[in-house]
Amino acid sequence: MIHVLAFLAAGLVVVFAGTALARYGDAIAEATKVGRLWIGSVLLAGATSLPELATDISAVRLGAVDLAVGDLFGSSMANMLILALIDLLPPRRRVLQQVNLDHALSVALAISVNALAAVFILVRPEFTILGISPGSVLLVLAYVLGTRAIYRHVTREGATLSMGLAQEEGPSKLSLRQALLGFGGASAVILVSAPLFAWGAKGIAEMTGLGNTFVGTWLVGLSTSLPELVASVAAVRMGAFDMAVGNLFGSNAFNMAILFPLDLAQRGSLFAAVDPSHVLSALFGVILMALGLAAIAYRAQRRFAMLEPDSLLVLAAYVLGIWLLYLHAVP
């Protein structure tokens, strides 16, 4: 029972901190004029992915490497569930129809690194250099180069005008210094509370008998996505649609970069130690991101909603993925 209470307590703290992250992130975007797309895709995405970072390092040290890796791919799936929900929940503001098409860059990065990680898990390379798998190094390099390309694109001359600044509800009363301090404080709160997720989830996995792979993908992945959920909902309420959507796809890309510190915490190759069944959740994450991109790119007049790219399709695909993972996990 104490594992469940710890799990819920950590989630409650994350909810309050996630709301603050959205507010301070929006103030940073306004003060720096970089734009909400990049702030959401990189800065906010990194901060809301701190639970995955702290939780999964703790899980690896506890010997639950499948719980850790399952959390990362499960979080990528959960973020796409959140993408569908912010478009479906009332009041329906057609979020996906109003965001900038430049999100295709961050989606391409997220899909690429998730698919690449799935390949490494499927191949299960045992070769390491100084105890580090070249695969995890390659994922970090891909993430860094990808985010740099996104930054250069959105900060080119005149690009800032298309980054969603027209949706502002008024000038922020916070200075850049205040926004950065507040953002850092909220991030620290999330980072400190995150290890409770690992401890509580490991106990839940043992109690239910469902195993670390499924519990990590579904329960922990969904729970460590609470900051993304809270921050994205708060951003939508502020009219910062690009920041909300960028946060979700950016988190999916950042999650794969987290495999590098996990590889450092793991003795030997991380990819050789994990269950190959994680490839299933990785591929479903890629499918969900592709559907999310299609829903954003499709701007035609809708006539047959169920036959066209839509957030409902993303929701249905998520449910199907979790069901298949459950069937795979149950003996």
Q: Quick one: pLDDT at residue 91?
A: 58
Instruction: Output the six-digit token pair for 26.
Output: 């929006």
The CATH class of the 2-329 domain is mainly alpha
Average pLDDT over residues 166-188: 73
> What pLDDT digit, counting tens, does each position of 279-303 carry?
988 999 999 999 999 888 886 555 4
Cα within 13 Å of Cα(74), Cβ side: 29
**What are residue 222's phi and psi, to 5 degrees?**
-70, -40
Q: Quick one: pLDDT at residue 19?
A: 77
Confidence of residue 229 (pLDDT cuts 50, 70, 90): confident
pLDDT-wise least confident of 90-104, 108-122, 163-177, 219-233 = 163-177
Instruction: Output the six-digit token pair for 12.
Output: 């409650």
Place of tokens 């719980």: 67
170 backbone φψ class: left, alpha, beta (φ>0; ψ -120 to 50): left
Cα separation of 120 and 246, whole Å? 26
Q: Quick one: pLDDT at residue 213?
A: 55
Peptide bond into 171 cis (omega under 30): no
Residue 299 CB burial class (10 angstroms; 0-12, 13-18, ≥19): exposed
Question: 156: which DSSP letter?
Answer: S
- The answer on pLDDT for 173 being more than 60 is yes
Q: Quick one: pLDDT at residue 240?
A: 85
Helix (H/G/I), strand (E/B), else coil: 111: helix
Cα separation of 311 and 80, whole Å? 9
> What pLDDT digit, counting tens, does each position of 181-201 carry?
999 998 888 777 766 765 665
CA distances from 281 to 76, 144, 159 (A): 9, 24, 35
Cα separation of 89 and 314, whole Å? 14
**What are residue 132's phi and psi, to 5 degrees?**
-115, 135
pLDDT-wise least confident of 4-13, 59-68, 184-193 = 4-13
> What pLDDT digit, counting tens, does each position of 143-167 carry?
999 999 988 887 774 444 444 443 4
Single pTM value for the model: 0.83
Average pLDDT over residues 261-287: 89
Cα separation of 256 and 181, whole Å? 27
Cα separation of 81 and 170, whole Å? 30
Query: Cβ distance 146 to 288 under 8 Å?
Result: no
Cα separation of 288 and 256, whole Å? 16
